[in-house]
Amino acid sequence: MTVEQTKSNKKKILSAVDGINLETKNQIQESNIKNSMVNNVDNQNSDYDKNTSYSNRIRVKTIYELAKDHNPQLFLPHDEFETASDYENRISRQVLLMKDIVLLSSKKMDIKKAERLQIAKQKELEKQSKIESLMAESMVTVELKPDAIGRYNIEEQTFPIVVNGASYQVLIPKEEARAFKENFESAKIEGLKQLKANNNIKINVKKAHIRTRPNGSILGIASKGHEFKHLKFEDEWHKIVYKGQVAYTHQNNALVNLVGLSDEYEYMDLVIIHPKTGSVFSLNSMKNLVPAPLDLASRKLLESGKADGPN
């Protein structure tokens, strides 16, 4: 083989390597950075500190070096016993091998990413299950006394009652109403209480409006993955804490996640016992009695399932 042919083949090698670099540049860079199989520790004495268990230098192998390690014979230099066509064929096989390694590395990274996501999801489910179990274990029966009673509505046959600072409504037949009000301080309330849940919302759309109130002016814009403390539902809106202030975002924008338990209790299944007749009546929370009607814009947004965010 002449000197000119050798030079020509060297150029072809460089051209082939450049070709794969251009074709798979992004994959190679990602593989070089993320794939743990390419980590190689240099243990030379000059680079090793005996006072620590860590290497002072970690070098990431290139795709070319990985391919060469996999098939050293394929990457031997050209010699006098190899024809130009054989050498060119070997260069082509080098390129194909490097492409295969890039593809294999990408597949391995995809598999590892899927495994990490599955593990994280499983851990989150286990955490929520544990919180729900603790919440259920915190449930106990409770006996309370009414704080105050309001004016009887004879048309609806109801009393407004305050219990533990919360407003309720109780349906009392008019034949029992007078005796009930005269003796309400001795009425007994029974029910259940359990620790309140602490919830967050996680934005699950690309962009979401954060508003001052339902359908109110825009305070800001949140991106997918952003999380905020969830206070409660108000119709189709999440009431949240946004940058230290109360704000709202539409329920189409986010999902609620259980993240812990509060040190406060919530009361449920409360009934009040008539102090004279022994009749039992359910207490209905005032906030659940008359939900605010959805305006037309809110209704259309809710029914469409679309996000409330910038176009």
CA 272 to chain centroid, in Å, comes to: 41
Bridge pairing between strands 254-273 and 280-285? antiparallel
As a whole number of angstroms, the distance between CA 262 and CA 266 comes to 10
∠45-70-83 over CA atoms, to 5°? 115
pLDDT number for residue 307: 79
Residue-range domain boundaries for the chain? 3-119, 140-304
Residue 248 pairs in a beta bridge with 211, 239
Q: What angle do CA 242, 244, 246 make, to 5 degrees?
A: 55
Q: For domain 140-304, give the CATH number.
A: 2.30.30.40
pTM listed for this prediction: 0.54
Q: Could you tell me which residues come within 8 angstroms of residue 182 by beta carbon, excluding any fewer than 6 positions away?
A: none
Q: What is the pLDDT of residue 157?
A: 95
Phi, psi of 247 (to 5 degrees): -150, 180
Q: Which ranges of the chain have pLDDT less than 50?
A: 1-3, 6, 9-10, 13-14, 16-17, 20-55, 290-292
Which among 259, 238, 261, 240 is positioned nearest to 250, based on CA atoms?
238
Looking at residue 223, its amino acid is S
Q: Which residues pair with 228 in a beta bridge?
A: 201
**56-98 confidence digits (pLDDT tens):** 555 678 888 899 999 999 999 998 899 999 999 999 999 999 9
Contacts of 185 (CB under 8 A, 6+ apart): 145, 146
Helix (H, G, I), strand (E, B) or coil at 49: coil
Cα–Cα distance for residue pair 275/172, rounded to 1 Å: 12
Contacts of 154 (CB under 8 A, 6+ apart): 174, 177
H or E element, residue 214:
none
Query: pLDDT tens, 240-267?
Result: 999 999 999 999 999 999 999 988 899 9
